[in-house]
Amino acid sequence: MRTLDLKRTWDAALGDIQLQMTRATFDTWMKGTELAGLEDGVFVISTPSPYAVEWLANRLHRTIKQTLERHVGRSVALQFVVRSPHQSRSDDPPVRPVSVPPLTAERDTRLAAPPGDDPAGPPGNGHAMPARNEHLAADDAVSHPLQARYTFDTFIVGPSNRLAHAAALAVAERPAIAYNPLFIYGGVGLGKTHLLHAIAHEAFGKSLRPVYVSSERFTNDFIADIRSQNTEAFRARYRNVDVLLIDDIQFLAGKESTQEEFFHTFNSLHAANKQIVISSDRPPKAIMLLEDRLRSRFEGGLVCDIAPPDLETRIAILHAKAETQPLPVSPAVIELIAHRVQSNIRELEGALIRVVAHAQFGGQPLTLELAERVLREILDRPEGVELDTVLREVAHFYNVGVEDLRGPSRRKAIAYARQVAMYLSREETDASLAQVGEALGGRDHSTVLYGFEKMKESVEGDDQLRRELLAIRERLYQTRE
C-alpha cells in the first residue's frame, strides 16, 4: 500500500474510532497516532509516547483492529511503535488531508464545461461538470455543476472539521456502507459544499452515478414536473442514482409537497442501498417546520458538524490559498489575516484576495502595513452598537438577566456570560475598559481586562465558544438593522 493510501486509510479510520469512545479518550490516546507503514502484512501504528504504546496495545487494540479491518476489507495485524521526535505528525492540526489522487489528464476526460463556460479558460475558475457515464440517460446528468477544485486534496483538515471530513471520506470510499445517510451541518462558508462536491467527484471516479443539487433546485424540478404532468421523469432523475447529495436541506422546511416527495425519494434510495448525503446550516432537530418522519431519518445516520476554524487551521487555509496568488504573501501577513478574520473560510479567503489585489493593482509591495489598512476597510465594526445592546443580547443568548450580568453573582453560568459580554463590548463597541466596567455594575477596569483576555485566549481553542460569539454578533447586527 502506498504512503498516500496509508494516510488516507488512517484518516478515515480515526474518524470512525472517534465515534466509538469519549472525546477525552480519543484526544489522549489516538490523536497523536499515525499509520506509519505496512510491513509483511502488519500495520505499524506510531505514537510519540512509550506509555501510549502500552495503552494502545493493551486497552484499544481490539477497537483499532476491527475498525481498520472494516476500512481495508480484510483481516489485519497491528504493531505499535514509538515515533522518533524527528518524524512529523500528520494528524496534528493543521494538516492537509491526503486523499484522492489529483485530477489527472485521464480523469479530466470526464470533465466538461457546462453551457456558457469557456472550456479553454484557466483551470480552477468557474465550474466543471463531470460528464455522465455511457449508461446514463440525459436526465441523469448532475443538476448542478461541480467545482473542479472542490476535492478531498484541497480540503484543509483541522479540529473543527476533522470528523466531518473523515465521515465524508469514508462515505466516498464505501458508499451506502459506512454512514447512510450522512448529515453535515454548520454555518455559512465552512466547507459543507466542498465536502459534498468531493464525494461526488469520488463517485464519478468509481463509475457511479451521483446527483448533486441544492434543495431549491430539487424543489424547482419537482414543481416544474408537476406542472408538466411528468412526475415520473422527476422520480427517474432522482431515484436512479447511486449517490444523492442535497445541499442546504433546511430550505425544504414548510414545503409540504416537496417534503412528501423527498421522503419517498429518500426511502426508495435507502431501500436500494444507495448513498444519501445531506447538508444544512443547523442540525435536524433545529430545522423548524420539518416533518418528524424526515427528521428521524436524517438522525438515523451519522450527524456531524463543522465549526468555525481555529487559528492554526485558518493559517493553514491561507497558506494553501496563498500558493495560488499572483504575488508572494509573507507569513506575517497570513498570520495577521488569520487573527483578524475568524468567522468562516469564505471570508478568510476573500480577505486574502482583496489584500493581494490592492498590492497588485496599486503597484505597492504587499507589506504588513498595507494588509492592516485593507483589513481595516473590510472589517471595521459597524457604527452604532451600544454597550446596553451588547449586554442585552448576551443576556438573552445565555438566558440570564442583564441585572445578573451587573450583579455580584459568581455562579458559573453568569460569570461566563459576563466575561463574554466583556469580550464583545471591547470587540464591537468603542467603549473603554472603564466604561465597560461601569456598565457591568461598576467593576474595575482590571477585571474587565482579565475577562477580555481570557475570552480572547479561549476563542481560538473552543469551537463552541466561536459558534456562540458568531451567533451573538449576528443578533447585534440584526438589531441595528
Task: Quote the DSSP letter at residue 195.
Answer: H
Checking 130-139 for CB contacts under 8 A at 24+ apart, the result is 130/200, 130/201, 130/204, 132/209, 133/204, 133/207, 133/209, 136/209, 137/236, 139/233, 139/236, 139/237
Pair 190, 161: CB distance under 8 Å: yes
Is 16 a residue whose pLDDT tops 60?
yes
CATH no. of 311-379: 1.10.8.60
Average confidence score pLDDT of the chain: 80
pLDDT of residue 312: 86
Per-residue cell: 384: 452604532
Which residue has better confidence, 480 or 461? 461
CATH no. of 6-82: 3.30.300.180
CATH superfamily of 387-479: DnaA protein, C-terminal DNA-binding domain (1.10.1750.10)
Amino acid residing at 292: D
What are the tens digits of pLDDT across the range 371-410? 888 887 766 555 567 889 999 999 999 999 999 999 999 8
pLDDT interval class at 143 (50, 70, 90) = very low
pTM for the predicted model, two decimal places = 0.58
Q: Report the range out of 188-192, 380-384, 469-473 with the highest average pLDDT.
A: 188-192
Is 128 a residue whose pLDDT tops 80?
no
Q: How far is C-alpha 306 from the chain's CA centre?
A: 4
Q: What is the mean pLDDT of the segment spanning 227-252?
A: 89
- In CATH, 152-305 is 2.130.10.10: no
CA distance 276 to 150: 19
83-87, 234-238, 256-260: the lowest-pLDDT one = 83-87
Contact residues for 4 (Cβ-Cβ < 8 A; gap 6+): 98, 101
pLDDT of residue 465: 84
CA distance 441 to 232: 66
165-174, 300-309, 377-386, 460-469: the lowest-pLDDT one = 377-386
Q: Between the CA of residue 194 and those of 48, 96, 170, 311, 342, what are the distances in Å?
A: 32, 14, 15, 20, 19
Q: Show me where the domains of the chain are located.
A: 6-82, 152-305, 311-379, 387-479
